[in-house]
Amino acid sequence: MAIEIERKFLLTNDEWRSQVKSRSKFVQGYLSTTPERTVRIRMADEQAWLTVKGKSCGNSRCEYEYTIPLTDAVEMLDCLCKQPLIEKWRYRLDFCGHQWEIDEFIGSNNGLLVAEIELKEADEKFSRPTWLGDEVSDDPRYFNSNLCAHPFSCWNNNCSISPGEKNPVP
């Protein structure tokens, strides 16, 4: 069984930008967002994946990911996935022996920046960059699957998303 151990943090400044090694645009949508399982379609750099994740237990959960044809992903994102879709720029950088991924959300989650680190062990030690802020690993508001139903742009505006609505109006 594949296990994902991930921790998520907010950012305190833009110092990380000078350390970026690569950048990709991601578009993803959810077929299922129940606490027991999430099923996601994701596209990046002309590639696409179907990902199934189990229920979180602390900072870890089982994860299965499969490459799918890009045309299938486009159709599923357009016709089957919950709206609005999650759109973001993902930046990758290395810091003290670990790879960090920083997601800069656009679209209905514009303005949200989150740093993630994947670990081999739940209690693995890592160095904290100066740009790293508060940990939000256990805050469900920051789960990508929840950002679909409750976009960042609505957090302070009490707006809601109607089924099928792609661009919420705050």
Catalytic residue among 30, 64, 91, 142: 30
> Are 117 and 98 in contact, with CB atoms under 8 Å apart?
yes
30 a catalytic residue: yes
Give the span between the Cα atoms of 86 and 78, in whole angstroms: 12
Beta strands 98-106 and 113-118 are antiparallel
The angle subtended at Cα 40 by Cα 109 and Cα 73, nearest 5°, is 100
Beta strands 37-44 and 47-54 are antiparallel
Reported residue count of the chain is: 170
Strands of 78-163, DSSP E: 86-95, 98-106, 113-118, 132-135
Element at 4 (helix H, strand E): strand 3-11
List active site positions. 30
